[in-house]
Structure 1
Amino acid sequence: MENYTYNSNLLLLEGLQVTQESMYPVFLFFLSSYIFIMASNIGIVVLIFIERALHQPMYFLFCNLSLNDIIGNSITIPRLLIDFWAPSSGHYITYAECVVQAFATHIYGTTSHTILMIMAFDRYVAICNPLRYTTIMSTRMVVKLTVSAWGAAFLLVAILLGLTLRLNRCRTFISNPYCDNASLFKLSCEDVSINNIYGLSFTVVLFTSSIGSVLVTYTKITAVCLINQNKSLNSKAFRTCATHLVIYLVMLWCSFVIIILHRFPEYSYYRKIAALLFHVIPGSLNPVIYGVQCKEIRKYIFTSRKISPVF
């Protein structure tokens, strides 16, 4: 008969299993990625807040994306780097720490969608209602959009983790590089049907809302550009929308890779790598694509020229 340890406060985290030969290159990759993510995203946030010319709704909304990348990577990568130097039998983590990590991980994934949704709305107003942009996208509206993006993610994830916390635990091993909701409820020997149903519903609602809102928004933006045939408007629309769309597609691609690999247990190792890259790739590319490629920010960084409003 199998022995179980009920409601143990100490869990064993598998971490990322790599060979002795690849340990140093992998460690350096994640370390350099983490340093770049922190430096670039913090730099973008500080630049936007201290430079008055960048005090525009588009940039304030983008700050949410940078803050999300900072939080999401800070909760997973440092712990991963520490575990590199500990034996596989010594990757212990307390249950409370695991819950906090799982909560932050799911907040990161959820707000990646909700923030890009409100940024799409901002681009829609700027291009389709340019004369009313400053009226619609007021400070109050920016605050409302920001609170709704984080608030919706917080509520959805709180319910997700709440359903898991009610379960008694009979296992202590987490087969993952970091803690997430699925890893936590798999520690239970109880019926987890409700968790699976809510988790699936959560994913369907989030992806449907995200893809649907972005698709509708860009359809309307495209229609306005085709009808007006204004070269100046179309140029600005392409410049500002292209960065947003590239970031969204990168994030969506990373999400789909993880979901697809979940369906193939034999590729569990690649799923774990993909789960880590879901944090690293968007977090590294977002400040480059949106920050450096954005004409207004690039002007300030490289030439310190005065910045004019986008619309």
Structure 2
Amino acid sequence: MNDLYNTSSVLVLNRFNLSSENALPAFLFATLSYMIILFCNLILILTIVLNKSLHQPMYLILLNLPINDLIGSTAFFPQVIKDILTNSRTMQYSACVAQAFFIHIYASGTVFILTAMAYDRYIAICCPLKYNTVMTYAHVMRIITAVWVSSLVTIGVLFFLLLRLPRCLSELTHPYCDNPSLLTLVCADTTINNIYGLFLVALSQVIANGMILYTYLQILVACFRSKRSDTKAKALQTCATHLTVFLLLECLGLFTIISYRIKNVSSHLRRFMGVSTLIFPPALNPIIYGLKTKEIREKALYFFRNKIFPS
């Protein structure tokens, strides 16, 4: 039976199949997308880190979002750009596992971070007098630690269950490595993996969706009860931007997860939705949270005028 197992450390890639005419536009699109994501997210990180006035609970939690976006983008884009540029047809199995691990960290991290941000806004808008008492520096650090530890532990278990299984196939057709695509290479019973994967998705969705639904309902109630129109408008704008990002990620991510379990779904549509999860949220997040937030926008403009392009 061991003769059937594939112990090769090299995987065969069959995922882009770009013609010579399409290779250059694909390379330019991938490179430009990655540069925009890097630039925007690094600016957001530097703006928050270098301005002590932004070292507040809301911005300290927000800081984790661009860091997480850079993890996902850097796990995806350099490998894709390399494959397109060199027309490579092989990839080390260890590199594929590493890419899949960090992409899953990005996906779970985004859900947990957006949930933490919703909790922060709930305390700020619904319990403003208690905000400074509740959202202390120590409490914020505990929230941030819980976000990253939760992601690392849950995804770590997912890949522990994957790596214990033998492989008998070596061809990848998905645009990037992830747990479902790696499971297709396995020649053993994957029932435990599938059950844990579904349990993980269900648990994270129940916790995230439940908390976000509850907090934003409470925020909306508080907004409509408020007599100050400026406070109401600002709170509603904050809710709208947060919900836009969350719903975008949810729609793209859940479709990708569900599509693996539906045989009739077009492979091209699955690839597009999967890649979109790694392109649009990391590109939109710094714009939505940076340009839409007055304090960050002002500090970023000051940083450019006085540090990058001093007169």
How high is the TM-score relative to the length of structure 1? 0.91
8 Å contact kept, 1:5–1:170: yes
Q: Deviations over 1:152-175 (max 9, x none)?
A: 111111111111111011111122
The Cα of 1:36 is off from its aligned counterpart by 0.5
The alignment status of 1:267 with 2:260, answered yes or no, reads no
* 2:13 alignment partner in structure 1: 13
Which deviates the most, 239-248 or 274-283?
239-248
* 1:11 counterpart SS class: strand
Residue number in structure 2 paired with 1:160: 158
Give the conservation status (yes or no) of the 8 Å contact 2:47–2:299: no
Query: Corresponding residue for 1:115?
Result: 113
Once residues 213 and 80 of structure 1 are traced to their aligned partners in structure 2, the CA distance between those partners, rounded to angstroms, is 35
Give 1:124's match in structure 2, choosing from 110, 122, 125.
Answer: 122
CA distance in 2, matches of 1:51, 1:180: 37
Q: What amino acid is the match of 2:45?
A: V
In the alignment, which residue of structure 2 is the partner of 1:309?
none
Residue number among 220, 223, 231 corresponding to 2:221 in the alignment: 223
Higher mean Cα deviation, 199-208 or 42-51?
199-208
Residue of structure 1 in register with 2:309 after alignment: none
Does structure 1 retain, via aligned residues, the 8 Å contact 2:43–2:300? Answer: no
Q: CA deviation at 1:57?
A: 1.1
Distance 1:179 1:94 in 2: 11
Say how many residue pairs are matched: 300
Residues in 1 aligned to 2:251 and 2:23: alpha-carbon distance in whole angstroms:
27
Answer yes or no: is 1:144 the counterpart of 2:136: no
Residues 1-311 of structure 1: matches in 2 within 5 Å? 4=4, 6-87=6-87, 90-262=88-260, 263-302=262-301
Q: TM-score, normalised by structure 2?
A: 0.91
Return the alpha-carbon distance in structure 2 between the equivalents of residues 167 and 42 of structure 1. 38
1:121 deviation in Å?
A: 0.2
Task: Judge conservation of contact 2:14–2:171 (CA < 8 Å) in 1.
Answer: yes
Structure 2 spans left out of the alignment, 5+ residues: 304-311
Identity of aligned residues (%): 36
Cα shift at 1:42: 0.7
Please, which moves more after superposition, 238-247 or 26-35? Answer: 238-247
Counterpart CA distance in 1 for 2:164 and 2:135 is 42
8 Å CA contact 2:220–2:236 kept in 1: the answer is no
Instruction: Report the CA distance between 1:5 and its aligned residue.
Output: 5.0
Deviation at 1:23, TM superposition (A): 2.2
Aligned-pair RMSD on alpha carbons?
A: 1.8
Distance 1:105 1:265, change over 3 A: farther
Task: For 2:201, give the aligned amino acid.
Answer: T
| Higher mean C-alpha deviation, range 245-254 or range 71-80 | 245-254
Question: What is the alpha-carbon distance in structure 2 between the residues aligned to residue 193 and residue 5 of structure 1?
Answer: 19
Paired residue for 2:308? none
1:264 to partner: Cα distance: 4.4
- Corresponding residue for 1:308? none
Residue 13 of structure 1, CA deviation: 2.6
Give the SS at the match of 1:93. strand
Whole-angstrom CA distance in 1 between matches of 2:196 and 2:142: 27
Structure 1 spans left out of the alignment, 5+ residues: 305-311
- Bigger CA drift: 147-156 or 234-243? 234-243
Distance 1:259 1:180 in 2: 11
Deviation at 1:260, TM superposition (A): 4.6
Return the offset for 1:284: 0.4
Deviation at 1:303, TM superposition (A): 6.2
**In 2, are the aligned partners of 1:121 and 1:217 still within 8 Å (CA)?**
yes
For the residues of structure 2 that align with 1:265 and 1:191, how far apart are their CA atoms? 23
Worse-matched range after superposition: 252-261 or 57-66: 252-261
